[in-house]
Each structure stands twice: as structure tokens, then as C-alpha cells.
Structure 1
Amino acid sequence: MDMLLDRPRLRRLMTDGNHRVLLLQAGAGAGKSVLLRQMAEDAGARVCTALHPQQADLEGGMLFWDLPRKARSLRLSDAVIDNAERIVIACRPQQKVTGLARAKLHGGCRVLLAEDLSFNDEDLITLPPQTQRAVLETYAGWPAFLRLALGDGEDDGSLVDYCREALFDHLTPGDMAALSLWLKAPDQPVPAIAATLMPPRLLAEPDRYPVLVETLRRASGESLAAYVSPTALKDIASTLEQSGQVLAAMNLLLDHGLEAQAAAILERADGRDLIYRSSLAEFQDIVLRFSHESVAENETILFAICRALMKQGELHRVRHLLSKHLGLDYLDPMKVLVKGSRFSFAARTFRLNLMISEDLTPNDAMIERLAEFMADYPLGEHGKWAAYYNALLEFEIRRRNFREAEAAAARALIYLKKMGGQPLLEFFIHLHQTVLRLMSGDALLARKAAQDARVRLEQVPHPADAEFRMLRLAEACLDYEVGRQRALLQFVQNEFEEFAAAEIWPSLMQFALHYAAQALIDHFPMGVRPGFLDGLWIHLSDGLQFHAMMEIRTAIAYQNAGRWREAAATLSAIRMPMGKHWIDSAVEDLTRFSRRDEIAYVMAWFREAVHLWTPRPYLARQLEALIANPKVTHRERVALEIWLGYTAHQRRETAAARSHLLSALESAHRLGCHGVLSEERLFLSPLLESRTLRAFVETSVGVRSALAIFTSSLNSPHARALKGGLSQREAQMLQLAAGGLSNKRIAATLNISEVTVKYHLGNLYRKLGCNRRAEALRAAMALGWIS
């Protein structure tokens, strides 16, 4: 390259008398040595490449010194400096030359850096325009690549080798890792080591030079792969860890059998909590690589593996691992959380998390024990405090202490913000708020929480498929509350199976089961059969206590279908501390129920009592007692008010019926929980058929809005299909076919044979005047029977 391009603008600096010392200081490939030789030729001198120049190396009072690239720190002797009129030195940024201070101070010094040595338009004026563009636009003006721009040089492989041998030869393994990380994501801040190596134009605008970036990326990857010594690997892993690439650092160490060092990184990264800052699949793949010996010796690894398994819904495996390594008494939370427990602080905090997945509902004594345990938390450990309040949030939702749950959520968010923000954990808190507000019946506030949840989840830098699925469910339930049921039905048909197979905390599952069951009840009312909701909970662990809830929802489905005897049989078979006869006579005790299933169970029986209406003078008092129960949600109170209105209407007490109906509709409008009106249409529709009652309540603007949404829900595509002449079974077939289900899947969903499915579909096609499924779906869409 030395005679290919003259650089007069730089060579003229030799005639500039304003400096005695001229330093050409830049990384490899900047053309320092070539320029030095050209300057020496102009002066009629030669270039010195010795480690220690002597007076004999001076020619005409000038020293042209090209430092050997392996040298790090060199010194010019006083004799050479005293006899040199001009000193020109070519060196790299990491090389240091001492002894020049006096010459620089008295004679002046000029330093040419990489920016000065890069080619510019003036340097390239003698080259063809196409070559000029290649030098500047492809190779960032870096002199070392001039031959490539001229089409007379190395191939890609040789260029990679050049970068490895010339650019990266002096880098430590850690520096090499830092440079490699930047080359993979050049939009990130430039590391210090890159600033000493790379062409300045490349550093300023890496996106403009993809060829050069890819070459450097390949070279850095090959250089990193060449390191195999434990010391080098630890250096690389340390750099990866400091750059936030914790899983990559652990993976590298585990690849080479350095488990102890990988475990140390896991501990510094807060162990099991690392899962919230990482891709679940990547986290799981890496922590499961630790040997059984490491798991037995290191609690951090044990809890990280358990956290990964819990994310998959593998609660049984988690309990087995923990009892195996920590003892059977670890499965008793009271023994773990008691003051003076033999278990470590980490083990106790993990037990708190495990209680959530086990669907344990703490009593007051347990909550007090948790408060005592909380006193051991270090004040500066914001992450631990956030986790504590997150657990408390879940427990208070189960205890139906919604105000306390909101307070716990607010405190958890405060501590997460003190940590500098954790998008995924903040998402979970906002999703919790969405769930508890919808469960309590305040859909308007729930919508705000769901919006906050989406904002946080979209900030998560790694894939979060399971979390987005949770969010889609919450948003579908919000749509359901304003009369749009399609999204919820589609979620139940297409995504619920994957949703239930992952780690789902119990309050979210309770919430999901309520809405999912209602979607099925609304769309398949005559298809009720024992176990018709099996698909909603078949993937749940036996440790989760949802069986009673599922049976209650099945009983309600029977009630909506008018099959009251089967509903009563289903409710009677559920194991509960109280039975039907006790409920029939209870009044004051109804104000003190607190458990979720007990309240739902009691209300299911009262739903039957309201429908059957016997001359029981205290039925209204019983319903009012439930309304007075502080654990009953706003949503449940709306249903109770509707029932009170219905019973009053049956007794021909018009004033009372008006009052209760108006209260129910105004509450539903104020809270935005219109879904409960659709759920209770069995009782609400007869009330609204009364002109006297309807005329009275429609004087309220809010009530008219609520009734519009209610009427819209009754005029659903399913309802229109029935009015259009389809049977219940044919309407079911149409909805399932519109959801993309095959004949086999439809048969499994409805517990019928494929032959029966084909028979009903044949009837459906005949009524629509079609011969194929696609034609039938288009026709049904045009009729508004599907959306």
C-alpha cells in the first residue's frame, strides 16, 4: 500500500516548524507506518524500528521511529533527544513513550490521531470516483483497506485474519469480549477498547458500514473461540457479567466445566430473581445444566431450578426437589417461617413464594407470622421488600381483603421503582391490580391497571409469550364487561390450554376460570354435561384447590340451561363445611363468610332459591345479609340486588323491585361491570319485561347506558343464529367452526362422535344453502351469526 497513494496534506507537516515532536498515534491499519516512511523519504532519512534508538539512528538531526507493535512502554535516551532536531514517532494508543516531556514543552508537539489519519476527499482525489466511494462508504476511510477498495487485495477470509492478527493481537480476553458485544449491538455506547481500535467513522455511524462491521464481528468471534484456558474464560465471563449478559457468562463457564464460577455469577445476579430479567427458555436451559452435586451444595442453584420449574407449572417436581434437599419439614410453611428457624433467609423467602403456587390462604395468625418474618428484611433490599409485598398482594386477594391488596400493590411498586424499575415485575403487579379490580367489580379502574400492565410488558427486552397471553386474557375480560364477548371466547377456544399449562398464580386462575366458564356457559348453554369444563383445568396441579369452584360453575351452567335438578345434585356433591339445609336457615352467619369458594357456594344455592321462590319470608333478609358481608364483592352485590328485585317482583312489591333494580343497574354502570348483568339475565330479563319497572329505571342516563350494553349482549351472534332457525347444537357447531376447530376437535369439545359432528354440520350447511365449510362461514358472517 505504501506507494499507492500520496498524502501531501500530511507529509507537509514535516515542513511545519511549529513543533519538534510529531506523534502518529492510532490503532493498527491507520497507515502510520506508510506515512512515516513517506516522511522519512522526503527528508532523505530511514525509519528506525529498534526498541531503543541510538544516536546513530539520527539522520540530518531527525529521528523517524516506528515502535515495534509488541512493545508497551519505551523510553528515548537523553542523548538521542538532545541531538534530535525533529522526532517523528508512529505508535498505537496503548503504547507509551517516556522521556519526551522536555522536548514537547520547549519544542512543541503535534499529535495525529485516527481521525487525522483516515482518508478524506483530498487524499483520494487521484482515484476513480467508484474507488473513492468504496474507500469512504464501505471501508470508513481506513487506510489498511485501500487495496480492497481498489479490488486488488485479500478475500474476506484474509481480511478476517488481518483483523484478528493486526487489530486484536494485543487485546486481553475481557477486552475482546467487550468489543465482540459491541459489534453484535453497535447501537450501544462504544466501549473504551473499541475507541482505540476502530475507524472513527465506523464508531460514529456503524449502521453505514455493514460490510466492515460483519468482518469485525466474524474476526472477534473467532478470536474469542480461541480462548480455552480457565483464566481467559473467567476474564471473558466477567466482562459478559458486567455487561448484563449473565446467562451468556454462565453458559460459557458451564461449557468448560467451571460450575463453581458459574454458580458465583448466579448468586451475584440474585439467583432465582434473574428469571424476571431473562428469557424463560434460556434461563431454564442454563440453570438445568448444573450437576446434582452443585444443586445439593448450593441453595441458589436449587431455588433457581425450582423457580424455572414453577414457571412451567411443575409444582410436584418443585416440592419433591425441596423436600429432598432441605427436608420434609420445609413443606410446612409454619416451621419454615417461625423465628429461629433452621432455614436460611433465602430458603424462607422462597417458601413465601411457594405458598402462592400452593394456593394456601393464610389465616390471621399466618399473616402475623409473615409480619414478624418481614422484620428480618434488610431495609436497603428493595427487591426483597417488593417480593414480600407482591406475596402479600396475592394473599390478600385470596382473603378478599381488596383494600389491603391495593395497598400491598402500591408498596410493591414503590420498592420496584427504588430498584430503578423492573418492567416484568411491575407488569405482574399491574396485572394483579387488573385481576383484583375485575374480581371486586370495578372494571373502570381495572382498565387503567391493564393499560399500565401493557406499557410495562412492552418494555421487557426479552420474549415474554406467557405474560402476553395473561395480558390478552385480562383485556378480553375487560371487553366482556362492555358487551364484547368474542375475544374471550376465542381465548378460551385457542389459548386457554397453553395458559393453564404455565405457572399461573391462583388468584389469576380463579379469575380466568370465572370468565372462561362464563364464556362457555353463554355460548353453549344446552351443551352442559358433567365435566364440560374439563378443558379449563385439566392441566392444573392437584395441589391447586379449584375443584369446588369448577363444580360450582358447572352447577350455574345447569341453572342457566333450566336444568335445576342437575344443578342441585352437582352442588350437593361438593364437600363444604355447610350444606343446603344449613344455608336455607342461616341469616346472621351469612355476614361472616370469608373464603372464596364458600361465598360462591352459598350464592349458587341462593340463586336456586330465588328461582324456585317458595314463601320463605326471610329469603330477602338472607340476601341482604350477604350484601352486608364485607367479603362480598361489588360484582356479587350487583347480582344480589338483581335477585332481591326479582323476589320483590314475584311478591308484587313494585316499589322494592324498582329500588333494587335501579341500585343494581346504577352500580353496574358506575363500576363498568356490565358482564354481571349478562350473567344474571335469567333474573334480569323478566324484570325488564315489566313496563312499569323499565320505565322507572330508564329515567337514569347511566341505567340507559347499562341497558344498551345488556341488550347488545343478548343480541349476540349466537342469539341471532338461534333466532335465524339454527338449533342450539347447530349454533354451537357454527361458533366452533368459526374458531377454526376441526371436526375432531369439535367432537372432543362437545363430547360427541365425529359422525354426529358431520351430521349437525350437514344440517347447518343445508339451512345456509351451502355445500362447504368456507361457504357456510361466509354466509353466516353475512347474516351476523358469527363475528
Structure 2
Amino acid sequence: MGALIDRPELIAGILGARTPIVILDAPAGMGKSSVLALIAQRMGADVVRSPQPPTYPADGSTTDTVLRLWDIPPYTAPLAIPESCVSGNHRLIIAKRPDTVLPGQARALAYGQATLIGSEGLMMSHGELERLFGSACEDVAEKSGGWPLAVFNTRLFEGPPDVLRAFLDAEVLATMPDEELVVLQLMLVETVGRTSAATRHPSFSESHFPTTSPLPLTAPFLMRPDGTGRPTLVVAGVRDVLREAIDHVMERRLRNAGSAKAIAEAYRAKGLVVEAICAFQKAGLFDNALRIFQDAGGPFFLYYFGPQAFDTVLAGFPLTFSIQTEVLVLAKALQSLKLGDIARARRLLIDRFGDIANDYTQVFSSRSVFSRQFRAFRLVMLLYEDYFFSEELLERAYALIAEFPVEDHLSRGSFYNSVLEFYIRNRQFAAAEEVAQRAMFHYRAAQAPLLAFYISLHQTLIRLMMGDALAARRYATQSAAFIAELPFESPNDARLQVLMDACVEYEAGRAEPLARFLNLEIDGFAHGEIWPSLLEFALHYGSQALGEHFSTMAARSFLDRWRVYQTSNGQFQAMISIREAAVLQNANRWQEAADTLVAISGRVDRAFVLAGGEPLARVQERDELALALIWLRQLVYEAPQRPGLDQLVTTIIGNMNLTDRQRMSAEIWLAYVAKRQRNATQARAVLQKTFGDCARLGTIAPLAEERVFLQELIDNQRIGGFLSTVTGNRQILRKLRDSGRLDNQSTKMANTLSRRESKILLMISEGAANKDVANTLGLSEATVKFHLGNVYRKLGCRSRQEAISSARALGLLG
């Protein structure tokens, strides 16, 4: 260690020990040999460097105490401590490493004949450093922490890091016990406290997770408690090199089954389940790893430890091992669902269980050959597949819950989570709220904040569908609190929370956050976990917001991208086409909207809606109901004075499967039809009710989405003036105008054109000649030219092309 520097306090303590034997027990770099050399100088003694102990005069030859110095070389097997030291008066000072087994040491300590000075006792105190270095002692103390090797070798951290790393590896860490090595590794990770405390599964006993960890006894120059009792790195400059050295030693030890088990159990005792599983996997002990994975929830592991840990653990199991293990197959299938890859999830189940795994009648039959865990997972998977639950399947599903123990909160909560989607899709919101509360109870009992987050998200979605923005905001706040509890990063779930927050703002009149989110985050959102109700939600709100605040092209592009993402799902394709028709209608491109609707196959079409009656009043299936509504909206625009149209709208309003938001839209159509049929009294009464509902629920979005009809109603003095006499209505109108939903330039210009002029303008923009327009509308060509002249005058144009260009610039044509 270079030139000897006197350490009088330490030497005085060693020589003044009350026992005949003093053992300096510390790893390399602690200055043991230097201390022996200093004592040898002072006492005029020799240092014996050999596995054999020093010799003493024969018994009885002298009554004087004899001092001997013994420096045991590393990597040797020394002989026993001389009996004359253990039971006599002869003195012996020994320097050894902790891994060196010294016969007689335990006996000498037990008899009180020996004093053990470990690494802590050999560290250099602040007083010693001040005496040695004077004013420079603070700098030396900061760099070295009192570690003798660093004190006397000031260039230790300036040379190649490989030298220090090799020293730490071979001389300090190589012989450190496995458990102690784990403790040291964890102390170097700044977030270990948060990780070990927060990512544990509730099935692990709290006693398995001690709140304090012993410091490495053999290396106090590495760690020492600070003023608060937390371990800190004494020699700051060694952190990165030490971490690399520990990783190298860990990698080497994990090749040995015995060390791997000790390391994995040490991780598990600290609550680091992921690290424990990975340790077993690296050692090839996959059965041990699987047992911990199952104890930590199996497929539910994801919800306690996060997607990154879930992916890491699953990747550590070999494919041949995974496909033979049901719990791993289900976990990998869930992983695929979370990535939006339903086809891969189906393939995984087929490869393990055969085609019968996707036969719901067989899976959920009373004689099913599948395990309870598999059937519960298959029920969850139906949620992602947008499978329509028949009453028979729902009844069979409810029979499944009786098989789960009362205390199995995860399985029970997931069952209610699965049927929750069914009730939302069928607009049975009362039942949906009931099962949501049951799921929330079980997930909270299971201490699973991520799963509770999903339930709060569903509750937010339910309230938004109902048009209840105030309750939706409360649930969104609750879901944000659950996300904040997570001890891991979950980017897709955080993205869902941002989406819900933006939708709540949209309901209150601010569409910009939602449009901005969907414009920037669509790829991350679309390639993540998508439930059918969430996709329906995103399609509706997203296309509406983009159409309002960007352009019709942006809204259609948004829908087209979803069309690609959901190529294999016919139900989603219909949903997308319905939303595209709505976008076109909002852009005053009604003919294109009609063509889009005609192309959607199914029993619900224009004729079905016009027939009205009981079938229209009882349309139940989600997409069929949406299609009936969008067709009715088309009819209201095309022929508001059509006899019996008001009855058709009234019939759909009476449909018990409508959401409150859909009902509000239909009420605006009814008011519009009443106004066009010169029944202002009815129009006012209907609008008064709708505005009252919006004020009570804290939303203006349903009104804003129908501005193509609402603007004309508000501009009518008999209707708009009447509404303005009520304070709540005035506040809603002000919000609509402040958000740009009413009285914008394009709407005002559209109102200067007559209905016939608007239709003629739309038709010529789609390429129709005057003759085609005349034939379609039942007019003469002269009358068409007359109306075109009025259009040119009102738009300040002199030609057909100028009129089309001006109309597009004003947004009259989308």
C-alpha cells in the first residue's frame, strides 16, 4: 500500500486490548498488513507471513509475555492458533481475510481470549485524516470515505476502471456471501426501497419483507448508515465500477444452482419477485421460477408488477417450457391481448389446447374439460373479441363465479369486469354500474390498483355515454388516483387516463385536448389494449373533435387508420363506417354520407327507418341502433317537412336502449323537424327540456355535435329568444359560442343560403351538371340557373368554379 503512515490511535487500541489475541479480520485494501508492519517497527518484532503460526518459547522457559505478529496469506488454509495463546499469556496479533477459515478462532472468541477488529475498525477516522493531511483532509475524506486503500492510493479512481473493477471482483466480492452480495447490490439501486415495498403481491406475507437490511459486514468502506439510518455509499467514486463488478460476480454465481437458489431467495425475501424469478431463470431452474410466478398471481402478475416486468419474466421461460404450462400460455395470451393482437392470443390457445379452445359452447358447457382458470381467462378474452353475449352464454358465465372461493378476489373481480363490457355494449347501464361496484370491491380487496383503475375508467365511460359529465369527472379523478398508486410505469394505461380526461373536457365544451391527443397519440393508442366499448368511444369522440378543430380530412384519415388497424373485425368496420357518415353529415356532404350508409350491409337501412313502428322502437344491438340513428339524422336533413317524420323521431326517442347522449341528439332533431313544420311551440318545449338536461349533467357536447340543426333553431327569434329567458340556457348558449360551436362564419354564411340553394351548391361541387340537378330536384334548368345566380351573388362569385372554391374555403362543403 506504499510507504507506511503511522496510525497511533489504532495501534494503541490493538496493543491495549485486554485479550491476548487480536484478530484483524477484513478484506484486501483495509491496511491490515500495513498495521502489522507499523506494530513490528514499534515493538521490534517480526511479521510471520505463512499459513503456519509463529512459534513461541517452550512452556515454562519464561514468564514474560511474548508478542508475535501473524499475517496469513490469502487463499491458504492456515493451521490452528497456538494453544499457548488461547490458554496462556502469549500475545498474538493476526491479520486475515473474512473468507479464511482459521482453526481455533471460534474457541478463542468464546473463551474471551480474542478480540475481533473488523473492517469498520480499520477505517480511517476524520481525526486521523486531519492529522495526516491537514487542510486537505476534507477533500481526502470526500474521495476516500476513510477507506485505507483509497487514502494511501490517491490515483485509485484516476486509472483504468478495469483495474479497480478487477480488484473489487477478486478481492472483495468474490468471497462475499450470496445474501450479503444481494444486499449490497440493492443498496446501490436508488429506487430499491420503492420497488421492494410497492410491487409485492398481497399473497406474500408482510413478514417476508423486513423494512431494514443489514449492511455488508465485510465491506464497510462500501456502505455506511447516514444520519437517518439509511445506507449510503462511503466512497462515491466507486459506485459505477462497483455496480459493474457486482453484476459480473452475480452473472458468474447464477451459473451455479446452489448460489442461484440463495440469490433468488434473498431477492424474494426483499420483496423483489421479478429479480427472484429472473435469477432462477438464468440458472435454468424454471420450475422454481414458475412457482414464484404462480404465487405472485400467474396471469395477474402483470397487474402487480407492470408490463415491463411481465414481458421480462415471460421472455425468460423457454418456448418449449411455456407451451407445456397452462399458466404461462394464458399469461402469453394476455400479453398479446394487451398489445392488441387478438389473433396471436387465439393461436396460442389453439396450439396448447386445440381448436376447442375457441369453441365457446364447449368451453362454457356444464361438462367442460377446461380448468376453472382457463374458463375465467376465456371469458375475459371475449371482452377483447367484441363477442356478443347471448342470454344463454351469460347464464353459463354466471355459473362460473360459484366455483371461485369467496376469498379469490382477483378471479371474482375479473368475472364482473368481463360481464361489465357486455352490459355497456347493450346499454344496460344500471346493471353495468352494479357489476362495476362489485368488481371494484374485489379489486380493492386484492390490493390491485391497476385493476381498480380499469373499473373507474369503465365507470367514467358509462357516465360519458349517459351524458353525465359531472359524474364522469368524479370517476376520472378516481381513476387518476389509482394510476398514481402504481409503483411501475404503464404507458398505455397512462395514455388511457389522458384520453378520458380529454373526453371529460370535451363534454364541458373544450374539444382541443381531445383533438390534440388523438392527432399525436393515435399510433401508441391503437397498438395497445383496446376494448370494444373503448374503441366505440374513441371513434365517436375522436372523429367529432378532429372534424371540429382540424378538418373533415383529418377526421376521415383518423377513421381510415382505424379501418386498417381493425381489418379483421367486421363489427368494428361497420362502426367506423357509421362514424364516417356522421363526419360527412357534419361537413354538409350529405350525398356522400348517404352513399356511405347505403354501402353498410344489414337489416337496418333507409327503408327500415321509414317503416318505423315497433321494430324501430325496439332496435337493441349497438351497431344497429347507431345505424338507425344516423339514417334518421340523414332523413331529418333531407326532408324535414316529410309527413310522419316527427313520429319517427319520437319513436326512436322512446327506444329504451338509447343512451342519454343519443336521446339528446334525437330531441334536437325533433325540435328541428317541428320548427320546419311550423310548430315553434313544440320546438321550444323540446329544446327547453334538452337544455335543462345538459345543464343538470354539466355537458354541452351533445348540443355542439348537432349544431348543423341547432344553429337554425337558435337563430329563430321565437325559439332562441324564448330559450334565452332562462339563466341556465343563457349559460349554455354562451359556452357554445365561446367554444366556437355556434355563430361561426361558415354557419352564418350557410344560413344566408336557402335550403334549395345549399343543395344545388352541394350537387355541383360533386360534379353534377345543371341538367342532372334539374332532374334530381324536379326543376327546370332555368330554375336551376336562377338559384345558381343567387348562390354566386351571396358568395360574391361570378362562376361555378369560384363558387365551389369559396364554399370549400368557408367550410360549407366540408
Category of TM-score, reference length = shorter chain: 0.7 to 0.9
Judge which range, 654-663 or 12-21, deviates more: 12-21
The residue that corresponds to 2:403 in the other structure is 376
The residue that corresponds to 1:98 in the other structure is 106
The 2-side partners of 1:541 and 1:517 are apart by 18
The residue that corresponds to 1:362 in the other structure is 389
The residue that corresponds to 2:578 in the other structure is 552
The residue that corresponds to 1:329 in the other structure is 356
The 2-side partners of 1:229 and 1:211 are apart by 31
The 2-side partners of 1:234 and 1:720 are apart by 73
The 2-side partners of 1:88 and 1:648 are apart by 108
The 2-side partners of 1:533 and 1:539 are apart by 10
Give 1:682's aligned amino acid. V
The residue that corresponds to 1:445 in the other structure is 471
Where do 1:512-661 residues align within 5 Å?
512-522=538-548, 533-543=559-569, 545-587=571-613, 590=616, 592-611=618-637, 612-614=639-641, 616-617=643-644, 620=646, 622-661=648-687
Where do 1:64-143 residues align within 5 Å?
80-84=85-89, 97-100=105-108, 103-104=111-112, 114-129=119-134, 132-143=137-148
Q: Report the 3-state secondary structure (helix = DSSP H, G, I; strand = E; otherwise coil) of the residue aligned with 1:353.
A: helix
Q: Report the 3-state secondary structure (helix = DSSP H, G, I; strand = E; otherwise coil) of the residue aligned with 2:571.
A: coil
Judge which range, 293-302 or 515-524, deviates more: 515-524
Where do 1:251-290 residues align within 5 Å?
262-277=289-304, 280=307, 283-284=310-311, 287=314, 290=317
Pair 1:8 & 2:8 matched: yes
Distance 1:720 1:562, change over 3 A: closer
Pair 1:510 & 2:536 matched: yes
The residue that corresponds to 2:456 in the other structure is 430
Give 1:420's aligned amino acid. Q
The 2-side partners of 1:548 and 1:498 are apart by 23
The 1-side partners of 2:79 and 2:464 are apart by 74
Q: What per-residue deviation string (whole Å, max 9, x for no partner) do you get for residues 767-787 of structure 1?
A: xxxxxxxxxxxxx9xxxxxxx
Match of 1:310 among 317, 337, 345: 337
Distance 1:322 1:544, change over 3 A: farther
Q: Report the 3-state secondary structure (helix = DSSP H, G, I; strand = E; otherwise coil) of the residue aligned with 1:441.
A: coil
Pair 1:158 & 2:155 matched: no
> Which protein has the larger Cα radius of gyration, Structure 1 or Structure 2?
2
Contact 2:456 2:475 in 1 (8 A): yes
Q: Report the 3-state secondary structure (helix = DSSP H, G, I; strand = E; otherwise coil) of the residue aligned with 1:206.
A: strand
The residue that corresponds to 2:153 in the other structure is 148
Distance 1:225 1:529, change over 3 A: closer
Q: What per-residue deviation string (whole Å, max 9, x for no partner) do you get for residues 537-576 of structure 1?
A: 3111523621222222233234334444544444344333
Distance 1:75 1:592, change over 3 A: farther
The 2-side partners of 1:278 and 1:543 are apart by 31
Distance 1:53 1:306, change over 3 A: farther
Where do 1:735-750 residues align within 5 Å?
none
The 2-side partners of 1:337 and 1:110 are apart by 72
Pair 1:293 & 2:320 matched: yes
Q: CA deviation at 1:298?
A: 1.5
* TM-score for the superposition, normalised by structure 1: 0.79
Q: Report the 3-state secondary structure (helix = DSSP H, G, I; strand = E; otherwise coil) of the residue aligned with 1:378.
A: coil
Q: Report the 3-state secondary structure (helix = DSSP H, G, I; strand = E; otherwise coil) of the residue aligned with 1:518.
A: helix
Distance 1:529 1:37, change over 3 A: closer
The residue that corresponds to 1:695 in the other structure is 721
The residue that corresponds to 2:413 in the other structure is 386
Q: What per-residue deviation string (whole Å, max 9, x for no partner) do you get for residues 84-117 of structure 1?
A: 387766677788943357754xx9x976555443
The 2-side partners of 1:73 and 1:264 are apart by 43
Pair 1:396 & 2:423 matched: yes
Match of 1:224 among 233, 243, 250: 250
Give 2:426's aligned amino acid. R
- Structure 1 gaps, min length 5: 729-779, 781-787
Q: CA deviation at 1:510?
A: 0.7
Q: CA deviation at 1:633?
A: 1.7
The 1-side partners of 2:79 and 2:411 are apart by 53
Q: CA deviation at 1:329?
A: 1.6
* TM-score for the superposition, normalised by structure 2: 0.77
Distance 1:201 1:520, change over 3 A: closer
Give 1:441's aligned amino acid. G
Match of 1:664 among 658, 671, 690: 690
Distance 1:236 1:112, change over 3 A: closer
Pair 1:414 & 2:422 matched: no
Q: What per-residue deviation string (whole Å, max 9, x for no partner) do you get for residues 703-732 of structure 1?
A: 2222122113336999589989xxx9xxxx
Distance 1:715 1:671, change over 3 A: closer
The residue that corresponds to 2:185 in the other structure is 180
Q: CA deviation at 1:65?
A: 6.7
Contact 1:313 1:541 in 2 (8 A): no
The 1-side partners of 2:76 and 2:468 are apart by 73
Q: What per-residue deviation string (whole Å, max 9, x for no partner) do you get for residues 726-776 of structure 1?
A: xx9xxxxxxxxxxxxxxxxxxxxxxxxxxxxxxxxxxxxxxxxxxxxxxxx
**Structure 1 vs Structure 2 CA RMSD:** 4.2
The 1-side partners of 2:647 and 2:321 are apart by 63
Contact 2:508 2:699 in 1 (8 A): yes
Q: Report the 3-state secondary structure (helix = DSSP H, G, I; strand = E; otherwise coil) of the residue aligned with 1:136.
A: helix
Q: Report the 3-state secondary structure (helix = DSSP H, G, I; strand = E; otherwise coil) of the residue aligned with 1:297.
A: coil
Q: What per-residue deviation string (whole Å, max 9, x for no partner) do you get for residues 161-214 of structure 1?
A: 222222223234564345334334476487436354232765536367431212
The 2-side partners of 1:62 and 1:26 are apart by 21
The 1-side partners of 2:97 and 2:743 are apart by 76
Q: CA deviation at 1:514?
A: 0.7
Contact 2:68 2:91 in 1 (8 A): yes
Aligned length: 722
Contact 2:492 2:528 in 1 (8 A): yes
The 2-side partners of 1:526 and 1:7 are apart by 83
Distance 1:57 1:477, change over 3 A: farther
Judge which range, 566-575 or 48-57, deviates more: 48-57
Give 1:478's aligned amino acid. V
Contact 1:160 1:215 in 2 (8 A): yes
Q: Report the 3-state secondary structure (helix = DSSP H, G, I; strand = E; otherwise coil) of the residue aligned with 1:710.
A: helix
Q: Report the 3-state secondary structure (helix = DSSP H, G, I; strand = E; otherwise coil) of the residue aligned with 2:188.
A: helix
Distance 1:210 1:439, change over 3 A: farther
Q: CA deviation at 1:351?
A: 0.6
